[in-house]
Amino acid sequence: MGTGGIAEKFVEDGQRLADFHLTAVGSRSQASAQRFAGRFHIPHAFSRYEDLVHSPDVDVIYVATPHPWHYPHTMLALSAGKAVLVEKPFAMNALQARAMISAARSQKVFLMEAMWTRFLPHVQRIRKLLSEGLLGTLMSLQADHGQSFVPDPKHRLFDPALGGGALLDLGIYPVSFASLILGKPQKISAVADFTMTGVDAQTSMIFQYASGAHAVLTTTLSASTPTQLSLTGTKARLEVATPFYVPSSFRVLSQGRPVEEYNEPYVGNGLREEAAEVIRCWREGKTESPLMPLEETLEIIETLDTVREQIGLSYPL
């Protein structure tokens, strides 16, 4: 659903999987639907999202529209009984996220947030090493995600009506990673600067956890920051190669021991694993993914809501 930038990348990567079958595309216009269908050899091209969700040839809908449409488009697909993979951020706020989760549960259909980084090999490896206690007690997580964009009031990243701003688009990567590693923060402190259009240009956050750990996270639309991630524990430190959110290698540094390097070879943009996870869950009749559970998706949106409240970021909903 939607024929924009990420939809193209998702299809390119999905088509690397033998059991990924793209049967239909839905767009707001016939021309765009046909262009996309022609490029990727898709049998059905619909000029209305309503027609896509009612197609009998479709089992799972990938919602790849701008953030404010994730809620209505997911609800549309769920109401037709289709499973849904929805782009990040899952929703504009926790109220919407709860309604989406509740609709999927009452329909008993699969729903998952497309936080693609989570399914990548290096992240799975990091999770395993942490569970084995490699770093000791985790004390600190530091991550940044900044990219330099030329301010353009009409671009979705700067337009409040399209859910613009650094936090929901880029900042969600460090926030989601912190959630994966440390859970829900107990205390949140955040500051931000705003663009002329009224969305956050730059947001910095400190999360404190019941365990005593801290996460220090930054995001910006104004500059290309290193996009690094480090996890520091009482026994060792783990540093993910930049940019941390795409397929990456990492290394572990501990006192008195040689540096350990971990490399996870990868082909593609990084979106293949999330597609594979949807197919696996679908085949097994699961209604959610154990790797990206809906309760955690909701917690992440609640965390973003708290940050937004503190920095005064609101949207015309």
Ligand X SMILES: NC(=O)c1ccc[n+]([C@@H]2O[C@H](COP(=O)([O-])OP(=O)(O)OC[C@H]3O[C@@H](n4cnc5c(N)ncnc54)[C@H](OP(=O)(O)O)[C@@H]3O)[C@@H](O)[C@H]2O)c1
- Point out which residues bind ligand X (CB under 6 A): 2-7, 27-29, 32, 64-67, 69, 87-88, 114, 116, 156, 162, 169
CB of 242 to ligand X, least distance (A): 16
For ligand X, the closer of residues 46 and 207 by Cβ is 46
Minimum CB distance to ligand X, residue 209 (Å): 26
**H helices then E strands: how many in the chain?**
10, 13
Shortest Cβ 155–ligand X spacing (Å): 8
Output 98 or 156, the one with its CB closest to ligand X.
156
For residues 200 and 118, give the distance between their C-alpha atoms in angstroms, rounded to a whole number: 25
Closest CA to 264 of 120, 134, 130, 143: 120
Closest CB to ligand X among residues 32, 310: 32
**297 alpha-carbon distance from chain centroid:** 9
Question: Residue 109 is encoded by which pair of tokens?
Answer: 């259909």
- Rounded to an integer, what distance in angstroms lies between the CA atom of residue 121 and that of residue 67? 27
> Minimum Å distance from CB 121 to ligand X?
17
If one counts every other C-beta atom within 10 angstroms of the C-beta of residue 186, the result is 10
* Residue closest to ligand X when measured from CB atoms: 4
Nearer to ligand X, 5 or 151 (CB): 5
- Closer Cβ to ligand X, 45 or 238, answer by number: 45
Residue burial 134-164, b: 16+ Cβ < 10 Å; e: rest: bbeebbebbbbbbbebeeeeeebbbbbebbb
Q: C-beta of 292: minimal distance to ligand X in Å? A: 13
Both tokens assigned to 286: 């699961």
